[in-house]
Chain A
């Protein structure tokens, strides 16, 4: 029946359609992109092998490297803001709503998760309107609590634009770590905290000493997922600031830099080979982060077994 002695036909049938699509549209393109970064393309469209020359240009030629390192640095800031704001807020809310005695916990959780379902594009436009100084909604709202003097055109100023966009992203995505942490907290058997409670431990102590250590693997997972998500982000900045990622490239992250390099912008033309080089660099950054996660973080954290 089967032409390969070691793989029975039915296994083959189960595997082939999915693996084929995955290979053609995901695995191969990734490998091909890595290969393409070793080529350059001339005006006629012909490609020549150039070794690591593109990387040399991207990392060390001022015309490219300034933009690349700027995007890398901004991306890192974007990630740090998520780690400092999004994940603690998720942890706090997850801890609050996982308390089964709290009335309406499910309703809170359901409503707070809602923005996560919206398209990033729509979220971007909504916040752009709300923060628009011409419309004045934010100023009025801040006025209610006497802070209207602090309102400024945050999305348009170099020192604040990236932070503002990162906070919008936090607003939208807080629901995902929230759900992951919430699930992990529910997975902790009651006996553990009950026993500690009987022993006279305060709720605060129970959380810090018993629950938090048990969900550390989940927090590690949340961190690496945040990292991958952030270093792959594009839509939000594109919909708020366009491909130019202004003001003065202060909101340019690797995703937008990749887009401009690949497709070009205004009078500068796109280059598939340099685009592939940028994508390959993003690939390496994510790979390094994932490796650090697996070898340093995940190994040391003992997964709590149910």
Chain B
């Protein structure tokens, strides 16, 4: 009889004791929101210590969320007032919306802004270009990685045209046990952000096609937008057996374990494979249709950093942003977070071979950004996810390119 009351009150006591302990954020602490979960250790071991060498009194914490959940969970935290002081900005409309809702501070007067060209700032400005709300950090590029050892073993060379590309794939498939391309449709986003908008610009001539789609002069059902889907659909036989349940992480693993020869890559993957692959790998840009064609690459202004309007520590946040605008950071970021290319005006040298190779593509090819990143997504709640599902459907042969393009155009027409 006594036992149960004693137990209950013991539990009660313990609980109250713990509940009263609620640590408060101290002034001088900064917390960073980001979707770059892969970079967590780089921030913790390299970037933040470098910052603290100059500003030892500001404690910085890097708190990333998985890319697919970032926008939603950031929104919740901003609404709930629990978001970090510094916010990694997606380019164009997603961050523009945050700014319009009053979640991000205006950064026009930030000292460090002068270190960036207008092109870079363009991804984080209001439509009239009058206000900038995020400090540009880096761009990413898209193409393919290949396992040099497998290519050597099979006597293959880097494909320049689509015909050569398919010959390489066929050789790998028929002459070896390796998976030709490591790519899966489970997560969806890679199908669009790496694959379709990565290989597509060769078809829609980069900026020309992208602007035409924005102004409505071109439609998704035009051949220049459906042809890349037809091209992607032809990759189907060269994927691994279980590609439909293969996550982005699985694709990385498959390539890193040396079981796949080619990997549809974003430049940010370099850091991962430098750490996890035990072989030498190289990069090539999307093969063109015929030899001699101009090549186009997706060179996407990908990440910026802004200040949470509700932050209690804006002074330190500004100190941190100005440091992000410094040459020191540009050098450090481009070299440590390999595959992210600093957008500042500083002349920096990139030591990583593959990253350097990719950066060199800018000289050979014309650059564009991801097809629907700017303006098109506005007010179309399903556009981005439909792009993902169409990409996945086309590659899995559960949807024809025409069906997919029609689905997307229907959303654009609304």
The interface of chain A, by Cβ under 8 A from chain B, is 43-45, 63, 67, 131-134, 152-158, 242-244, 246-249, 260, 263-270
Contact = CB atoms under 8 A, between A and B. Distances in A.
B170 interface: no
Interface stretch (B71-79, B117-125, B271-279, B330-338): B71-79
Interface of B: 68-69, 71-73, 75-76, 93-94, 97, 100-101, 184-189, 240-246, 250, 253-254, 377, 381-385, 388-389, 392-393, 396, 398, 414
16 contacts: A133-B242, A153-B241, A153-B245, A155-B186, A156-B246, A157-B396, A244-B68, A246-B188, A246-B389, A247-B186, A263-B75, A264-B75, A265-B68, A266-B68, A266-B385, A269-B71
A63 B242 contact: no
For chain B, what secondary structure do more than half of its interface residues adopt (helix, strand, loop), or is it mixed? helix
A63 to B, nearest CB: 7
Given A266-B385, A267-B71, A247 B76 contact: no
Given A266-B68, A268-B385, A152 B75 contact: no
A134 B250 contact: yes
Contact of A244 (B188, B240, B377, B398): B188
A153 B72 contact: no
A267 B389 contact: no
Contacts of A260: 72
A247 B68 contact: no
A244 B62 CA distance: 26
A263 B242 contact: no
Contacts of B385: 244, 265-266, 268
For the complex of A and B, list the 9 residue pairs with the smallest distance between their C-beta atoms, beginning with the closest: A133-B242, A156-B245, A156-B244, A153-B245, A268-B381, A153-B242, A263-B72, A267-B384, A153-B244
Contact of A248 (B68, B73, B246, B389): B389
A247 B186 CA distance: 7
B76 A263 contact: yes
B384 A134 contact: no
A14 B185 CA distance: 56
Contacts of B71: 264-267, 269
A251 to B, nearest CB: 11
Contact of A134 (B93, B189, B242, B392): B242
A246 B189 CA distance: 11
